[in-house]
Amino acid sequence: MRILAIDMGTGTQDILLYDSTKPVENSVKMVLPSATEIAARRIRRATAAGRAVVLGGVVAGGGPCSWALEDHLRAGGTAFATPEAAQTFNDDLDEVRAMGVELVSEDEAARIDGERVVLQDLDLEAIRVALMAFEEPGDVDGIALGCLDHGAAPRGVSDRLFRFEHLRRIVESRNDLLAFASRGEELPAYLTRARSMVASAHGAAPVAFMDTGPAAALGALHDEHVGAHDEHLVLNLGNMHLLGFHLRGRQVASLFEHHTGEVTSEQIVRFATRLAEGTLEHAEIFESKGHGAYHAGRELVRPAVPGVVAVTGPQRGKVRGTALRPYFAAPFGDMMISGCFGLLRGYAEVFPEARDAVEAQLGRG
């Protein structure tokens, strides 16, 4: 069975083509620029050429492409966007207009002379072309997708709080990292980015979705050293978001989420230590520009930093040499693909018919 796992981040998209007939170490793996980074480069190209930007496509991840668009407008450039693409920058389209972006229909966009930038988190055709260049067939039996979706918060509601409430509700409904996995068609309506990513698969294969933070934590548990312990502190330091979990197995005792760029190494150590002790307060995280903290099942763990502090993610260097004594998890020898292993587990969770194929190489877990 062949499953394509794609973990879409802010800086990179990490791709694993899993084949249950081969050792995991022989899987095709790619770490490529993220979709938002690709869009940002195309917007900057338009700015340099003095051309208008015409944004089409669907709701996708912001960050780099948002910053590039702001720079383009500040430089005196013009920008047009279809309503769906415009939601990449803000769910409130009046706010997008206030940026200086003119909203146009698909037909109007097609007639505008400018640099066309298609926004989408999943470009399946581009991935297939890359695979075929190395004589690797592009057909798959399943697709496992992950990204971080703040969700379309109601007007006047903080998107940071709205996302964190989504995480909390999932843990309350079923305390298991695998509870974050869902069939693509069963995602709630407010997860607009995730739903657009799933829709971009165009029915090529059954699709499972899992939030990238829990997927990375789940993937880290596949490191042999981490997996040998029952209790863990797992930190995923992505390029934009930091998620910390105090776990017993796959069960969550506590979690917090912050923005990687908003915290110092010292703050990470303090937050992680207090998370493990069960004393980290939600207000402390939110008021320092993070999302929040939540203690779900403190009876599962001891109120102390566990023996293993597993760290993954491209910004893991922020805790190198700190009092946390981090262990840099590298499941199956590859830290950057941690999230993909979590996505594979998530796929097998929501499509039980794939469980034997996933466990054939990843083990029972």
Report d(CA 326, CA 331) in Å as an integer: 15
> 200-248: per-residue pLDDT in tens?
999 999 999 999 999 999 999 999 999 999 999 999 999 999 999 999 9
In the chain, which segments carry CATH 3.40.50? 35-118
Which residues on neighbouring strands pair with residue 19, listed in sequence order? Answer: 2
> 91-131: per-residue pLDDT in tens?
999 999 999 999 999 999 999 999 999 999 999 999 999 99
Which residues on neighbouring strands pair with residue 143, listed in sequence order? Answer: 4, 207
Residues 120 and 200: beta-carbon distance below 8 Å: yes
- Tell me the CATH number for domain 224-329: 3.30.420
**Taking residues 316-337, what's their average pLDDT?**
95
pTM of whole model > 0.75? yes
Name the residue with tokens 């992505």.
238
Residues 243 and 216: beta-carbon distance below 8 Å: yes
Report pLDDT for 364. Answer: 85
Of 17, 313, 310, 344, the C-alpha closest to 181 is 344
Q: What architecture (CATH level 2) is domain 35-118?
A: 3-Layer(aba) Sandwich (3.40)
The end-to-end CA distance of the chain, in Å, is 18
In the chain, which segments carry CATH 3.30.420? 224-329
